[in-house]
Structure 1
Amino acid sequence: MEIITGTGVNGGIAIGPLTIHRRAWSEIKASSVGDIESEILRFETALGKTVEELQVLYDKAVEDVGDAVAMIFEVHKLMLEDIEFTESVKDIIHTQKVNAEYAVDATASKLSSIFAAMDNEYMRERAADVKDASKRLLGRLQGKVSEKIGVSEPSILLADDLAPSETVQLDRSMILGFVTRLGSSNSHTAILARTMDIPAIVGAVIELKDEYEGKLTVIDGFEGKIYIDPEEETLNMLKKKQAEYLQRKMLLKELKGRESITLDGHKINIYANIGNCNDVENVINNDAEGIGLFRSEFLYLENSHYPTEEEQFLAYKTVVEKMEGKKVIIRTLDIGADKKVDYFELEEEENPALGYRAIRICLDRIPLFKTQLRAIYRSSAFGKVSIMFPMVISLEEVLELKEIVNEVKKELKDEEILFSDAELGIMIETPAAALISDLLAKEVDFFSLGTNDLTQYTLAIDRQNRKLNRFYNSHHTAVLRLIDMVVKNGHENGIWVGICGELASDLSLTDTFLKMGIDELSVSPGKVLELRNKVVNFNMDNKNN
């Protein structure tokens, strides 16, 4: 038995023979061309055919995995049609008098290197998109038609890497799971694996050895482990784990479409947290009743410039429309602390968690803040939107925020731009906000407890400092008392109270929160049905809870 580790990007257990997929690499060489115009025309013809092919892939992906994930192929189209890309290819053909294949490969290598060198992990992953899109174009130039990965029996696939286009075309009846040597948890291939619900491991420390071909293999997507030729005891243990997981999965599917109501009739809203637009399909697939935390900072982290009002509006609108009338709570910009953006030019701080971050930046850079608020309010014309402000610590801040909001609404009204009224809420993330929550509740429509920071600030422990792990206790009595206080103060002033931090998905605390009277719990999409199962089996009057 051989045990190999990697990064699990989608849970589940897959058991079956291993099939190795090797790409047929062909070296791209420069060759002189005499007729420059004909070579450029050959490039443009191949480009047009490739764009058509990507459109077919997009349409298939929309049908199979939803349009949010299908946007991968729209991005590939945009990359190939981008004037910077096409002009670079043509310029190389013209000035160096070389073949189109060489010009495409040189341009793609340059662009992918630029992406790969970026600080932001999401942007680094775009280097793989450049390579995937350009390889498709190169195949067209070389007269090669892209084919599906075929296997003769249900198998676990092992490859150096899988391009998004290869992943979306996998025959799910034949591919039990896959393992790649390259890739990360943020890659499009990983996102597709989660959406298609295929057990998958990336970044595995494994060679594509011929001797592995056909060997019985188990991949554990939860642990990120690959077992090649497992011993009988290990195999039986993993089969049991697989059976338990599938049984639990079937049970949870039965909860789809049900309201989250306790046995004694208390309705709890179970919402989902998302980090960007691509997560919405997961929210819908897991039957969340709304979005309790839309982290808007992804728009800033993924850009090399301040996102415009229009860019933000389109992102918010996309999410709001997809949720079809379900509530979407958009958190305003939460940059700072561990989330750095170069173009913000923030100074280094000795203790950034206690520094210039979140609402403090927004109240200091009001034009930046107003741009975001305008975009959010514009999106409210297309669905049910609420706005949530992070890191509030005083009543004065809330009053200033409401003033700015009123100014933005007046501007939009004067410009005759459609918008709907939106609930205004604040995150309770500091002991200061919790202790004056009775005052704050009079000025807002809801509270959402950010338990990650609330725990960190209450215990005076940096949650990212591993040396302090043994002292960090998210179940600390002080933290739970603060949460209870916030719920009581919120309810006494007629507003609802939710939790969007990690504790919301801690099933060992669900009963405690329900007894406190919490109205909403917002968790990662994959936790929604598990949490609903806990809620619908809870009875407030049962003393054994």
Structure 2
Amino acid sequence: MAIDMLKTLRQIAQEVGTAKDLKAALSVIVQRVREVMGTQVCSVYLFDPDEQRYVLMATEGLNKRAVGKVSLARNEGLVGLVGRREEPLNLEDAPAHKDFRYFPETGEEKYYSFLGVPIIHHRRVMGVLVVQQRERRQFDEGEEAFLVTMSAQLSGVIAHAEATGSIRGLGRKAKPVQDAKFLGVPGAPGVAIGTAVVMLPPADLDAVPDREADDVGSELAAFQEALEAARKEVRKIAGRLERTLRPEERALFDVYLMILDDPTISGEIEDIIRTGQWAQGAVRQVVKQHIKRFDAMDDAYLRERATDIRDLGRRVLGHLQQAHKSKVEIPEQAILVSEEITPAMLGEITPDKLVGLVSVKGSGNSHVAILARAMGIPTVMGATELPYSRLDGLTLVVDGYHGEVFSNPSDEVQRQYRAVIEDERELVKGLEALRDQPCETTDGRRMPLWVNTGLLADVHRSLNHGAEGVGLYRSEVPFMVMERFPSEKEQQATYREQLQAFHPQPVTMRTLDVGGDKPLSYFPIKEENPFLGWRGIRVTLDHPDIFLVQVRAMLKAGAGLGNLRILLPMISGLHELEEASHLIHRAWGEVRDEGVDVAMPPIGVMVEVPAAVYQARELARHADFLSIGSNDLTQYLLAVDRNNPRVAELYDYYHPALLQALHKVVQDAHAEGKPVSICGEMAGDPAAAVLLMAMGFDSLSMNANNLPRVKWLLRQVSQQQAQELLTQVQSMDNPQVIRSVVDLYLRNLGLGRVINPASEVTA
């Protein structure tokens, strides 16, 4: 059997994506797989965790009356065998197999060939996908590969349905599964329990979920209002362009109005609303049906009408969304959920009602995540498996420490997380008293604690928590909030605010670090692998115009203050440091020529790629200081994308390779008489901070929210205890064991309360 696998999968995925519920999705899969593979039977069995049985949920070829009725225990039949083995089973004479189980009601006794593959999602078997044929033969490798690939596609669909409850009873309304867990990446620390408020992308037909109408009459009225608003909008556009378009081009708007006035389409939408569907869902359903119909036509002109239908459907949907938004009541404990949260969305919910954020897209370093940390809102980013459009109104738990989301949490899960929230509240009260106390160990080792900032909003929080300086000012943030490059004067004003706010304490300003997961909308960088591409110092050295303007702005902003330090990101070799230093000295000369009396600030290098680790001594010899970016260094050293939830478990800054690299950089910098600091999530982990202090770091820089915890813990231990602990873990080769040993050591000292507030949760 020759199958154009990619093309076929793409077609099936598209059909499954437009299915209104799980029943329809499974129906599409069994029909299309049977058709593509040329088999007589295709069936899906889903595992019911409550009953511990595999239930026949969809079939083409077997008796459909058996759907929902035939089931097998985990240790029963060929389906059970596939589930237990978690691998494909390919038989040419299935009835002869010792595990074959015969169900008269299915009518499968006449089918001999059997190929079953497990449907697995996040290491959990969710079901089995089966094809069968009358003739005795083994399915070939291509057919097996296709079915395995199809089951991988199906696993995500089932996981979404399971989380929202539609898996039960094949799409009939049911209570969502309790404690459905979704992985993302930590965006902002903390825990939140609240009600999901889903914000859908504007006028995106694909994102509209099914939802039961509260009032059918109101939904019908809303639809008619949106239809009339769309008509007015089209007439307005036609009138505005009347003089610039030829008559045949103006006729397009007449076509649009005809479609909007077509009683067939509007009648179909109203009929669906009367069944209890809300207006937005009815518009999506009918419009997508018509799009599919036009797309399938042979005539090119008629196929083009699919684009017209889509455009008009989006216009009507947009007006419906506007009307709906004005009526939505935001709950007291609101958790904002969206495919991609934007800063503008944050402004649509009253700050005192917003307790958490969940974004399907985005990373822990995205602008929204930075804003969330500044606002102290627990956030999970990159929750790619989350069926976000179906969660509106459900209770959620957002664990911003581990990057986890629980939908419809059980009483027990809620109890555990409420205890974490209460402990957090009590802990913060106790730590406030430390604000003006120095971070000093019990045997007198002084450890300066600095903060990572990027917004003016960070300043107040940082100073309130006793920050002694800024170890990392993300200068790209002012660039990200604008729609063009900020001018030298605009940059100067922004930098001056930061430098003055922390004066006389040092402020380390990193030069523009864009690319990777920090794009600028007005300076797009399209690359196959952006994290190994054109980013950081590589961009600014290629654009000295951007670099010189920024450095001049920094130098002028620091005039008369003397607390500016300049940090260069993504340095991978001495030549980049030398070239950047030359440009900084050139900018300094230009500023002095303009009459601004400013001293040359210290210039530092960020150590965040492996090449810099092995050149640390040479770099330290030519720089004034080193600063390790622990987030990127962990990512590059372990070859793990830190923003990808699929490999989140592999991203671990307790990895022995990273610990060795950190210690080496400190020793090399000190050998040249230069200070070395560390910024990133690791520095803000109180337990990891003990190891970093033992290694000899001269300062730690972290998120302001983490500073009180780190200070409290370091004030409870001695430098000698920290070095004993470091010596103990340096001989270990497993990051999980290292983490456990560190936690246990500190707990035995009675210091476990600040290590990880959510670490005791067993959900």
| TM bucket normalised to smaller | 0.5 to 0.7
SS of the equivalent of 1:541 reads helix
SS of the equivalent of 1:442 reads helix
Tell me by how many angstroms 1:343 deviates.
4.0
The answer (yes or no) to whether the contact 2:472–2:701 under 8 Å persists in 1 is: yes
Residue 479 of structure 2 is aligned to residue 479 of structure 1: no
Report matched runs for 1:101-500 at 5 Å. 156=333, 222=400, 231=411, 233=412, 236-341=415-520, 343-344=522-523, 346=525, 348-349=527-528, 351-381=529-559, 383=561, 384-464=563-643, 468-469=647-648, 472-500=651-679
SS of the equivalent of 1:489 reads helix
The answer (yes or no) to whether the contact 1:497–1:519 under 8 Å persists in 2 is: yes
Report matched runs for 1:38-57 at 5 Å. none
TM-score by length of 2: 0.46
Q: For residues 464 and 419 of structure 1, do their structure 2 counterparts lie closer, same or farther at Cα, with a shift above 3 Å needed?
A: same
The Cα RMSD (Å) is: 5.0
C-alpha distance in 2 between matches for 1:391 and 1:480: 20
Residue 711 of structure 2 is aligned to residue 532 of structure 1: yes
Residue 666 of structure 2 is aligned to residue 521 of structure 1: no
Q: Which stretch shows the higher mean deviation, 276-285 or 461-470?
A: 461-470
The answer (yes or no) to whether the contact 1:276–1:296 under 8 Å persists in 2 is: no
C-alpha distance in 1 between matches for 2:599 and 2:610: 33
The one-letter amino acid paired with 1:362 is T
C-alpha distance in 1 between matches for 2:188 and 2:598: 39
C-alpha distance in 2 between matches for 1:412 and 1:177: 46
C-alpha distance in 1 between matches for 2:607 and 2:377: 37
The one-letter amino acid paired with 2:512 is L
Tell me by how many angstroms 1:184 deviates.
10
Tell me by how many angstroms 1:158 deviates.
8.9
The answer (yes or no) to whether the contact 1:158–1:208 under 8 Å persists in 2 is: no
Tell me by how many angstroms 1:539 deviates.
0.8
Q: For residues 368 and 242 of structure 1, do their structure 2 counterparts lie closer, same or farther at Cα, with a shift above 3 Å needed?
A: closer
The answer (yes or no) to whether the contact 2:192–2:378 under 8 Å persists in 1 is: yes
The one-letter amino acid paired with 2:607 is I
| Corresponding residue of 1:102 | none
C-alpha distance in 1 between matches for 2:718 and 2:693: 9
The one-letter amino acid paired with 1:338 is D
> What is the number of equivalent residue pairs in this alignment?
428
Q: For residues 371 and 263 of structure 1, do their structure 2 counterparts lie closer, same or farther at Cα, with a shift above 3 Å needed?
A: same
The one-letter amino acid paired with 1:457 is Y
C-alpha distance in 1 between matches for 2:520 and 2:193: 39
**Could you say which structure has the greater relative contact order, defined with CA pairs below 8 angstroms and 6 or more residues apart?**
1
Q: For residues 353 and 410 of structure 1, do their structure 2 counterparts lie closer, same or farther at Cα, with a shift above 3 Å needed?
A: same
The answer (yes or no) to whether the contact 1:313–1:375 under 8 Å persists in 2 is: yes
The answer (yes or no) to whether the contact 2:551–2:587 under 8 Å persists in 1 is: yes
The CA deviation string for residues 476-519 of structure 1, in whole angstroms up to 9 with x for no partner, is 33322221121112112221101113322233432221111111
C-alpha distance in 2 between matches for 1:450 and 1:189: 20
Tell me by how many angstroms 1:254 deviates.
2.6
Q: Which has the larger radius of gyration?
A: 2
Q: For residues 237 and 516 of structure 1, do their structure 2 counterparts lie closer, same or farther at Cα, with a shift above 3 Å needed?
A: closer
Q: For residues 312 and 475 of structure 1, do their structure 2 counterparts lie closer, same or farther at Cα, with a shift above 3 Å needed?
A: same
**Unaligned ranges ≥5, structure 2:** 1-174, 197-221, 230-236, 241-321, 323-328, 339-343, 726-763
Q: For residues 260 and 165 of structure 1, do their structure 2 counterparts lie closer, same or farther at Cα, with a shift above 3 Å needed?
A: same
SS of the equivalent of 2:605 reads strand
C-alpha distance in 1 between matches for 2:357 and 2:456: 26
The CA deviation string for residues 308-347 of structure 1, in whole angstroms up to 9 with x for no partner, is 1112111111222222322211100112233333544546
The one-letter amino acid paired with 2:546 is L
| Corresponding residue of 1:105 | none
The one-letter amino acid paired with 2:594 is E
C-alpha distance in 2 between matches for 1:462 and 1:188: 18
C-alpha distance in 2 between matches for 1:450 and 1:484: 14
**Unaligned ranges ≥5, structure 1:** 19-25, 31-91, 96-134, 136-148
The CA deviation string for residues 417-440 of structure 1, in whole angstroms up to 9 with x for no partner, is 243432210101222222222222
The one-letter amino acid paired with 2:661 is L
Q: For residues 247 and 397 of structure 1, do their structure 2 counterparts lie closer, same or farther at Cα, with a shift above 3 Å needed?
A: same
Q: For residues 440 and 242 of structure 1, do their structure 2 counterparts lie closer, same or farther at Cα, with a shift above 3 Å needed?
A: closer
Among the aligned pairs, what percent are the same residue? 30
Q: Which stretch shows the higher mean deviation, 521-530 or 298-307?
A: 298-307
The one-letter amino acid paired with 2:456 is C
